Structure 1
Amino acid sequence: MARLEHVNLVVKDLDATLDFILTAFPDWRVRGTGEGDWYGTKRKWLHVGTDDHYITLNNGGTGSNRDLKGHLPGLAHIGFIVDDMEAVANRLQAKGYEIATIGADHPFRKTIYFIDPAGFEFEFIEYLSQKPEEKNMYGGETSGITRVSTAI
Structure 2
Amino acid sequence: MITLEHANLTVRDLDRTLHFILTALPHWRVRGEGTMDWSGRRIRWLHVGDEQQYLALQSQGDGEALDWQGHAVGVKHLGFIVPDVEAVVARLQAAGWPLDHWGGSSAVRRSAYLVDEGSVQFEFVEYRSDRLAERLEYA
Q: Could you say whether these structures have the same fold, taking a TM-score greater than 0.5 normalized by the shorter chain as the test?
A: yes
8 Å contact from structure 1 (residues 13, 118) kept in 2 = yes
Count of residues paired in the alignment? 139
TM-score (norm 2): 0.95
Show the counterpart of 2:47.
47
RMSD of aligned residue pairs (Cα, Å): 1.0
Q: Deviations over 1:49-95 (max 9, x none)?
A: 11221111100111111122211111110000001111111101111
Query: What pairs up with 1:63-102 in 2 under 5 angstroms?
Result: 63-102=63-102
1:14 aligns with 2:14: yes
TM-score (norm 1): 0.88
8 Å contact from structure 1 (residues 20, 117) kept in 2 = no
More strand by share: 2
Q: Deviations over 1:1-39 (max 9, x none)?
A: 110111110011110100100100111111110111222
Show the counterpart of 1:129.
129
Work out the percentage of aligned pairs sharing the same amino acid: 47
8 Å contact from structure 2 (residues 13, 118) kept in 1 = yes
In 2, the alpha carbon distance for the partners of 1:25 and 1:51 equals 13
Amino acid corresponding to residue 110 of structure 1 in structure 2: R
Closer, same or farther: CA 45–119 of 1 in aligned 2, 3 Å: closer
For structure 1, the residue ranges without an aligned partner over 5 or more in a row are 140-152
SS of residue matched to 1:20: helix
For structure 2, the residue ranges without an aligned partner over 5 or more in a row are none
SS of residue matched to 1:31: strand
